[in-house]
Amino acid sequence: MKNTILISPIVTEKATANAQKNVYGFVVAKDATKNSVRQAVTSYYNVEVGKVRIVVRKGKVQRVGRRMTPKKHADKKIALVEVTKGSISLFPKA
C-alpha cells in the first residue's frame, strides 16, 4: 500500500531538537487532516500519537532569469506529531 499522506520527514537542526521531546515533523499532502496524519503515522511507524498540529508554510517568491521575473514556489503543509508511546527512528543504524 502506497502511503500518500506522509510525503517526507523533516530533518533539520530544529526538528532533531524537537525529536528529543518526542515531537516529529513531516511534510504531508495538501488534503491531509489531523486524523489522517494520526492514522498514517501510527500504521507506518507503530507508535501511539498524542497531539497533531498542522501548519501551512507559504512558498517564497524569488526573482529568476535574466529579466528577474518573479516565480512563486509552492506552499507546503507540515504536520508536527507528538508521540506518546514509542519512538520514531529517522536515522536507522547500519
The CA distance from 30 to 37, in Å, is: 11
Average pLDDT rounded to a whole number, residues 52-71? 95
Confidence of residue 4 (pLDDT cuts 50, 70, 90): confident
Residue whose C-alpha is closest to residue 81's, from 29, 31, 27: 27
Residue whose C-alpha is closest to residue 35's, from 49, 21, 20, 19: 49
Confidence of residue 1 (pLDDT cuts 50, 70, 90): very low
- For the 6-85 domain, the top CATH level (class) is alpha beta
Q: Report CA 72 to chain centroid distance, whole Å.
A: 21
Domain locations in the chain? 6-85
pLDDT the model gives residue 87: 82
pLDDT the model gives residue 94: 55
The CA distance from 41 to 35, in Å, is: 10
pLDDT the model gives residue 92: 63
pLDDT digits (tens, 9 = 90+) for 30-53: 999 999 999 999 999 999 999 999
